[in-house]
């Protein structure tokens, strides 16, 4: 049986992606997460809780934050809020900021783990820093198998793309990372939502550094015509001719299905025999914003 008191790490499924979990109140456990991922220590982690009651102990919620939690939790939304001084959370988990990102995941296994642990769990995506997030347990085993005491395997993640990160510390809600809850869903509740542009003001959400989510092969976006040796990710019913391999993100043009398939298909096409991974245009709406955000980062020059 896993002993949480010695600060071991557990990989676990959420509805978005697999997380690399550790006791968020244990500085050593949190340090182990950063080390396993080779993650720069200026990039803070998301702290997971079962729900709003447990979250309010850790951060200050105003009515706006409470209504967001009531509407979207448990689910793929992380809220950046002021840390309570007495929260007991590791300092490293917030990378020294006076804010903390909180999320109540909807996955039954994540909920069971959180309730059994009886404490908040810090969990970034269970991949090496800068690489593609894992949506099945085998991805975690391949990349971080040596760093974790246990991998809880519950099959494929249903959303497949990370949570939306929403900063509620300012007067206007700021979208730091598009994700499983869409801009349109947030605007319907909050009215104006500021779009924090990637690369700018990077420490606010360092996960938004231009190059991120990168496969090993080069990526080419908004592709309509084949170049020699390319593999293609198709969106829609038909693949243009001339590609060395094709995978369909969604033949029916469903953005939810495309998001769920994105990371696993990027990994499947990330092979030296292909000159590049080409991706057809994806609409910039709903979950398409999150998909395009990840693709743009994956295609960015490597830092």
Residue 78 in the binding site for ligand TXA (CB under 6 A):
yes
Residue 135 in the binding site for ligand TXA (CB under 6 A):
no
Q: Return the closest-CA partner of residue 34 out of 116, 93, 97, 100.
A: 93
Q: How far is CA 14 from CA 18, 137, 198, 282, 287, in A?
A: 6, 11, 25, 25, 17
- Residues near 146 by Cβ (< 8 Å), separated by ≥ 6? none
- Interface residue with Mg ion among 99, 125, 163, 250 (CB under 5 A) is 125
Span interacting with ligand TXA, options 96-104, 146-154, 253-261, 272-280, rule CB under 6 A: 96-104
Residue with the shortest CB distance to ligand TXA:
207
Q: Which of residues 5-34 bind Mg ion (CB under 5 A)?
A: none
Q: Which of residues 216-235 bind ligand TXA (CB under 6 A)?
A: none
What 3-state class would DSSP assign to 29?
helix
Residue 43 in the binding site for ligand TXA (CB under 6 A):
yes
Q: How far apart are the first and last CA of the chain?
A: 40
Burial degree of 158 (CB within 10 A; 0-12, 13-18, 19+): middle
Binding mask 140-179 for ligand TXA (x = CB under 6 A): ----------------------xx-x----------xx--
In the complex with ligand TXA, the residue whose CB is nearer, 125 or 250, is 125
Q: Which of the listed partners (ligand TXA, Mg ion, none) does 81 bind, with a CB threshold of 5 to 8 Å by partner kind? A: none
Span interacting with ligand TXA, options 16-24, 55-63, 244-252, 270-278, rule CB under 6 A: 16-24
Residue 121 in the binding site for ligand TXA (CB under 6 A):
no
In the complex with Mg ion, the residue whose CB is nearer, 125 or 292, is 125
Residue 182 in the binding site for ligand TXA (CB under 6 A):
no
Residue 90 in the binding site for ligand TXA (CB under 6 A):
no
Q: Is the peptide bond before 86 cis (omega within 30 degrees of 0)?
A: no
DSSP secondary structure string for all residues of 204-257? GSGGGSSS-S--SS-EE-S--S--TT-EEEEESS-PPS--SEEEEEETT--HHH
Point out which residues pair with 80 in neighbouring strands: 101, 167
Q: Which of the listed partners (ligand TXA, Mg ion, none) does 186 bind, with a CB threshold of 5 to 8 Å by partner kind? A: none
| Six-digit token string for 273 | 């025999």
- Smallest gap from Cβ 104 to ligand TXA, in A, equals 10
- Smallest gap from Cβ 137 to Mg ion, in A, equals 17
Radius of gyration of the chain (CA): 19
The residue behind tokens 């959420």 is 14
Give me the residues that bind ligand TXA (CB under 6 A), please.
14, 16-17, 19, 43-46, 76, 78, 80, 94, 97, 99-101, 103, 105, 123-125, 162-163, 165, 176-177, 204-208
Give me the residues that bind Mg ion (CB under 5 A), please.
125
């Amino acid at each position: 049986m896993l002993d949480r008191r010695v600060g071991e790490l557990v990989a676990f499924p959420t509805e978005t992606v697999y997380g690399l979990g550790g006791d968020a109140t244990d500085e050593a456990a949190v340090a182990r997460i950063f080390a396993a991922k080779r993650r720069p220590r200026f990039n803070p982690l998301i702290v997971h809780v079962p729900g709003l009651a447990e979250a309010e102990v850790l951060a200050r919620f105003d009515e706006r934050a409470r209504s967001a939690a009531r509407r979207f939790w448990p689910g793929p939304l992380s809220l950046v809020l002021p840390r309570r001084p007495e929260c007991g959370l590791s300092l490293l988990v917030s990378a020294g900021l006076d804010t903390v990102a909180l999320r109540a995941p909807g996955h039954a296994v994540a909920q069971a783990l959180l309730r059994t642990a009886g404490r908040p769990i810090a969990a970034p995506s269970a991949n090496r820093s800068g690489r593609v997030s894992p949506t099945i347990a085998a991805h975690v085993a391949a990349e971080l198998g040596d760093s974790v005491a246990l991998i809880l395997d519950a099959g494929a993640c249903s959303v497949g793309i990370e949570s939306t990160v929403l900063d509620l510390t300012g007067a206007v809600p700021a979208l730091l990372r598009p994700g499983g809850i869409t801009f349109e869903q947030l605007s319907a509740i909050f009215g104006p939502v500021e779009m924090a542009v990637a690369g700018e003001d990077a420490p606010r959400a360092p996960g938004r550094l231009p190059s991120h989510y990168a496969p090993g092969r080069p990526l080419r976006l908004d592709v309509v015509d084949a170049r020699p040796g390319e593999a293609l990710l198709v969106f829609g019913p038909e693949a243009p001719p001339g590609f060395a391999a094709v995978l369909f993100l969604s033949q029916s043009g469903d953005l939810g299905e495309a998001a769920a398939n994105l990371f696993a298909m990027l990994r499947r096409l990330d092979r030296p025999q292909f000159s590049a991974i080409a991706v057809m245009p994806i609409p910039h709406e709903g979950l398409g914003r999150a998909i395009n955000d990840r693709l743009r980062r994956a295609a960015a020059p490597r830092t």
